[in-house]
Amino acid sequence: MAQLSAQIVSYDEEFKRQVSKLLRACGVPIGIVEGRSLEGAAPDLVVVDIRADASSGMASIERLRAASGTMAIFAVAGAAEPDLILQAMRAGANEFFPWTAGAQTQASRAMEESFHGAVRRTSTRREAANAGAKPPCVTHAFLGAKGGAGTTTVAVNCGVELARLTKRSTIVLDMKACLGEVALFLGVRPRFTVLDAIENLHRLDKDFLKELVAKHKSGLDILAGSEQFDRPAAQDAPAIEELMRVLTRMYDYVIIDAGNVISSCVAATLFSADTIFLVTNPDVPSIRNAQRLVERVRQLGAGSERVKVLVNRASDQLLIGAKQIETALGYGIHHTFPSDYRTVSTALNSGVPLTLSTNSEIAAQFDSFTRQLVGMASSSGGSETKTEVERKRVFLGIF
């Protein structure tokens, strides 16, 4: 799904924070932006605060409407006064909300629900308007339940498979704070990192980005992790959000290695992701941490319905069974990757991704996982349809 870009026009920082939270809990990938993008594209949705000063609020709405006939404009007022509603609609607003969010009353819940509904309608309308155009970018974030769960392994191999199978532009972004290993796993030496990208956002167009990324022979682009221990830090989160906006406009697939800590920068990437793959191992510490991460994603409002659980390093003697994992996390297991240290570490040490080097079961699992992501039939099945493959998998109890 394409990311919806939203701007909040207000002088009240607390209001901006609350509206951001409300927007992010709508169930659609969203990026909060400060205005037009580098290429001059207007945001898809603008929330205008008209509570303190209705006349300057109306002027903002008129200016926005004059600049774009298609953007959705939501006016937020202190109360639902009929005169104000009429003025806002005349100025060009599509929706009007009396601000009651966070009050925990029935009225505030109703307001939040109708706000969410309006955002989702905006997203659907935008999809319909863009139908037939270039398919929207799909963003998959991989978040580890703990260090060593195999997040980088899964993210990197999925990225390579996506680039290889679809031949569409794909980038993997290493968000692990300090010493990310994505480039290392792929055997490439990056000259630049994510910090160079966020420090040069004002000139981050296609040509400049081409200079910053390292190329893998599968076709996958890599934006390597920062080499500084203390960056990207909390103050870089808005720049990371903007970087996501740029990447999702330039690529067909964006893969994020989010590491295993939800910092504010990682949260910024999760908000814009279509899917958040939680990578866990079948052991007690991983499951306990996974429970906490699931809860954190829910608290952030980053779309917990987009969370999918991946079990990595599963062996025949699962210490914790699939059913137990599913009950503990409240999610079904989306895919399971077997434990195969020898194959994985050989691939890692040689810098050659699994799927390009072996015919092992784990390589086959990456192939089928990625094919399922893009709706392709299984390579072994030849003419099998996707539904047939899925039915068989269900039968085999893999999911």
Ligand X SMILES: Nc1ncnc2c1ncn2[C@@H]1O[C@H](COP(=O)(O)OP(=O)(O)O)[C@@H](O)[C@H]1O
Tell me whether residue 153 or residue 218 sits nearer to Mg ion (CB atom): 153
Say if CB 282 and CB 326 are below 8 A apart: no
Number of residues that bind Mg ion (CB under 5 A): 2
Tell me whether residue 181 or residue 252 sits nearer to ligand X (CB atom): 181
Beta-strand runs (E) in the chain: 4-9, 30-33, 45-49, 72-77, 95-98, 138-144, 170-174, 214-215, 221-223, 253-257, 275-280, 307-314, 333-338
Say if CB 4 and CB 44 are below 8 A apart: yes
370 binds, among Mg ion, ligand X, none (CB under 5 to 8 A by kind): none
Rounded Cα distance, 31 and 28, in Å = 10
Tell me whether residue 252 or residue 367 sits nearer to ligand X (CB atom): 367
Q: What are phi and psi of 138, to 5 degrees?
A: -115, 130
Residue 232 DSSP class: S
Sign for the pseudo-dihedral over CA of 169, 174, 179, 184: negative
114 binds, among Mg ion, ligand X, none (CB under 5 to 8 A by kind): none
Q: How far is the CB of 183 from Mg ion (least distance, A)?
A: 12
Residues belonging to the chain: 399
CA distances from 262 to 63, 267, 276, 375, 394 (A): 37, 6, 12, 29, 32
Binding of residue 152 to Mg ion (CB under 5 A)? yes
Rounded Cα distance, 362 and 387, in Å = 22
Per-residue string for binding with Mg ion, 210-229, x by CB under 5 A? --------------------
Tell me whether residue 47 or residue 273 sits nearer to ligand X (CB atom): 273
Q: How far is the CB of 176 from ligand X (least distance, A)?
A: 7
Tell me whether residue 137 or residue 149 sits nearer to Mg ion (CB atom): 149
Q: How far is the CB of 224 from ligand X (least distance, A)?
A: 14
Q: How far is the CB of 289 from ligand X (least distance, A)?
A: 11
Q: How far is the CB of 227 from ligand X (least distance, A)?
A: 17
Beta-strand runs (E) in 18-60: 30-33, 45-49
Tell me whether residue 190 or residue 225 sits nearer to ligand X (CB atom): 225
Do the bridges between strand 221-223 and strand 214-215 make them parallel or antiparallel, or are there none, so unpaired? antiparallel
193 binds, among Mg ion, ligand X, none (CB under 5 to 8 A by kind): none
- Write out the residues near ligand X by the rule CB under 6 A: 144, 147-153, 181, 312-313, 337, 339-341, 344-345, 348, 362
340 binds, among ligand X, Mg ion, none (CB under 5 to 8 A by kind): ligand X
348 binds, among Mg ion, ligand X, none (CB under 5 to 8 A by kind): ligand X
Tell me whether residue 210 or residue 288 sits nearer to ligand X (CB atom): 288
Binding site for Mg ion (CB under 5 A): 151-152
